[in-house]
Structure 1
Amino acid sequence: MKKNKNVCATCDEICHYIEEEVKPGDTVRLSLGRCYIPGKVVNNNDGVIQIEIDSEMIKGLSTIDVSKLKEHLVELEHECPDGMCCTLEAKDE
């Protein structure tokens, strides 16, 4: 059974969370503005994440520098291999 944790966080806090907590092999679902980007993390280099995307419209490897797009962050869902799922919803700073 998955454990869920939902929190509101500033965009800076979400960027910091990605840098510190998101590991290769984790599944993330990023909402950036109107874009929804689901995929498995391949690499995380200080918040520049590579994601293997396998959705209906987009497939392949994508590199996203989250800190450069932080003003467009709406939500991050982070699913760890241990079954924990954290949802961080962006709030106004």
Structure 2
Amino acid sequence: MNALPRSVTVHSASRLLRIEWDDGSESALPHALLRARCRCAFCTKAARAGAAAPDCSGVVLTEAHAMADAGLNLVFSDGHRRGIYPWAYLRELDEGVS
């Protein structure tokens, strides 16, 4: 079974989303990575159509809303708010950063 979060904190200054998991591990995910790796229908369609990846280097995560046991809905400074990031996907992204 996948670990679930114990706490989630948005750090604006460091531009990191920190997740403390119930298995004792911690994830520190850069805001730009989270925005660039959005899997919402709009972003997935654009990627499949061959659209250039957006420059997310200046994007900041402004809000994180828990979606019960499903994951997080993330809101970014560029106005993007469609993505739901399942807990398992956030762990997968962390493994790619580490």
TM interval, short-chain normalised: 0.3 to 0.5
**Higher Cα Rg: structure 1 or 2?**
2
Structure (1 or 2) with the greater strand fraction: 1
Structure (1 or 2) with the greater helix fraction: 2
Using the size of structure 2 for normalisation, the TM-score is 0.36
* Larger RCO of the pair (alpha carbons < 8 Å, separation 6+): 1
Using the size of structure 1 for normalisation, the TM-score is 0.38
